[in-house]
Amino acid sequence: MLRVAVVGSGPSGCYTAQSLVERDPEVHVDVLDRLPCPFGLVRYGVAPDHEKIKSLQGNLRTVLEHDRVRFLGGVQVGGPDGLPVERLREMYHAVVYCVGAATDRHLGIPGEELPGSWSATEFVSWYSAHPDAGDEGFLRDVRSAVVIGVGNVAVDVARMLVRGAGELRPTDMPQGALDALAASAVTDVHMVGRRGPTQARFTTKELRELGGLPRTRVTVDPADLALDPAFADLSALPAAQRRNAEVLRGWAEAPHEDTERRIDLRFFRRPVEILAENGRVGAVRFERTAPDGHGGVTGTGRYEDVPAQLVLRSVGYRGVALEGLPFDAAAGTVPNTEGRILRDGTASPGEYVSGWIKRGPTGVIGTNRPCAKETVTSLLADAPALASREVPQDPLPALRAAGIDPVPWPGWLAIERAESELGARLGRNVVKLADWDTLLGAARAN
């Protein structure tokens, strides 16, 4: 029998556990998570109005309910209060780290830390009820918002900023975020890319959705499209970029109509400074850029200020070093070969990675399946050597001895019940619990 710990219960952790138990009838897997709730970014990153993607939780749930898989929530690995990596390693034949990319990339420009300037991750965590997120008054006195970056997260936050109460109420968004978004006075959201429209990272389905939002018009300046050399012949572009370009061209050519809210997509503008007004964000200064002919851009020395009371920096996630594991700070990943963690260039027996901490924060949820499969192939090839090491029959007593009292699967089910009850009390569907005390209270009351 092989005992494996998977650290992280997001898509990459669940797909890793699934691949392990499907491919080896002798494997038992504990899926550990810092939070008492499973599913990682499917619960705390996928936008609440994307019910179809959120329904993937059903598939991940099946994995965690497998009879050779056990969910153990509330287990922090690494860090000052966490279980040391070395200790965890002693408890299992193998450990697979699927800890994702827990923080955001920084712009490194003046004004980035001004009140009113937030990472998209902070904003997403708030409306997704992440227990570490605070109600920062994101929308207070905001009429105009700037979203920096043109990836799918930027599209998500732009969309959430213009959604109305009627559309948000059926979601599982916490009541505080729903009330704040419903009362929001935001009329203009400017989503700004530093390169050209055909280099944007959003996918067509997500982009197109912006055009169908009630009371909202999407505006695109035809001059931004004309500046992109690829627009001269869209047929030469790869299909995904061509589809994006066609959607953008449709908006650029659409007749102007008056709407309550606007999403303004701009390109060829590089953020250089966030400007203050009365000690808070007042505008973002962009340098106009021009294509350099190789997919990049060069500065033109011309600047433009876009007024905004809220800035959401949506320029990608970043992996965080886990104490006791090697880390490539430039890439934000754990060095590995086919999922085997490399210590000083050599594969470390019994230590693996999968998901964003292995390959960086790119790809959709499904990308984690082949990624997990590759790591599991490496692990199972190593299994004969790993299984010869003595490990505890059941690591739970050792975890408890280390001062950790994990939240088991029934604890999570109790949280789910509490969220249904809260929804019923508020006259809504399921409503997420948004703070540590309430989550743990519900879990322990089961």
Q: Which residues bind ligand NAP (CB under 6 A)?
A: 107, 148-154, 156, 193-195, 199-201, 206, 271, 314-317, 361-364
Q: Give me the least distance between CB of 145 and ligand NAP, in Å please.
A: 16
Indicate the residue among 298 and 346 with the shorter CB distance to ligand NAP. 298
Comparing CB distances to ligand NAP, the nearer of 107 and 407 is 107
At a CB cut-off of 8 Å and minimum separation 6, what does 134 contact?
Answer: 126
Q: Which is nearer to ligand NAP, 36 or 151 (CB)?
A: 151
Instruction: Identify any residues that bridge with 333 across adjacent strands, giving them in sequence order.
Output: 328
Residue 374 backbone class (left: φ over 0; alpha: ψ -120 to 50; beta: rest)? alpha
As measured in angstroms, the least distance from the Cβ of 209 to ligand NAP is: 9
Query: How would you classify the pairing of strands 269-277 and 280-291?
Result: antiparallel
Burial class (CB in 10 A: 0-12, 13-18, 19+), 87: middle
Select 91 or 124, whichever has its Cβ closest to ligand NAP.
Answer: 124
Query: Whole-number minimum distance, CB 156 to ligand NAP, in Å?
Result: 5
CA distance 438 to 71: 20
Is the CB of 88 or the CB of 274 nearer to ligand NAP? 274
Smallest distance from ligand NAP to CB 58, Å = 17
Q: Which is nearer to ligand NAP, 9 or 314 (CB)?
A: 314
From residue 354, how far is each of 18, 153, 241, 335, 358 by CA, in Å? 13, 21, 28, 11, 5
Q: Shortest approach of ligand NAP to residue 206 CB, angstroms?
A: 5
Question: Taking a C-beta distance cutoff of 8 angstroms, is the pair 181, 168 a contact?
Answer: yes
d(CA 144, CA 306): 9
Residue number with CB closer to ligand NAP (19 or 289): 289
CA–CA gap between residue 68 and residue 122 (Å, rounded): 35
Q: What's the closest the beta carbon of residue 270 comes to ligand NAP, in angstroms? A: 6
Which residue lies nearer to ligand NAP by CB, 316 or 406?
A: 316
The count of residues in the chain is: 446
Task: Centre a 10 Å sphere on the Cβ of residue 302 and count the other Cβ atoms it contains.
Answer: 11
Residue nearest to ligand NAP (CB): 151
The least distance separating ligand NAP from the CB of residue 331, rounded to whole angstroms, comes to 13
Q: How far is the CB of 234 from ligand NAP (least distance, A)?
A: 19
Other CB atoms closer than 10 Å to residue 27's CB: what's the count?
24
Q: How far apart are CA 78 and CA 88, in angstroms?
A: 9
Other CB atoms closer than 10 Å to residue 392's CB: what's the count? Answer: 13
Taking the C-alpha atoms of residue 223 and residue 248, their distance in angstroms, rounded to an integer, is 12
- Whole-number minimum distance, CB 84 to ligand NAP, in Å? 30
Burial class for 120, CB neighbours closer than 10 Å (0-12, 13-18, 19+): buried
Q: Which is nearer to ligand NAP, 58 or 108 (CB)?
A: 108
Q: Residue with structure tokens 């008492």? A: 36
Q: Which of 207, 219, 208 is nearest to 264 (CA)?
A: 219
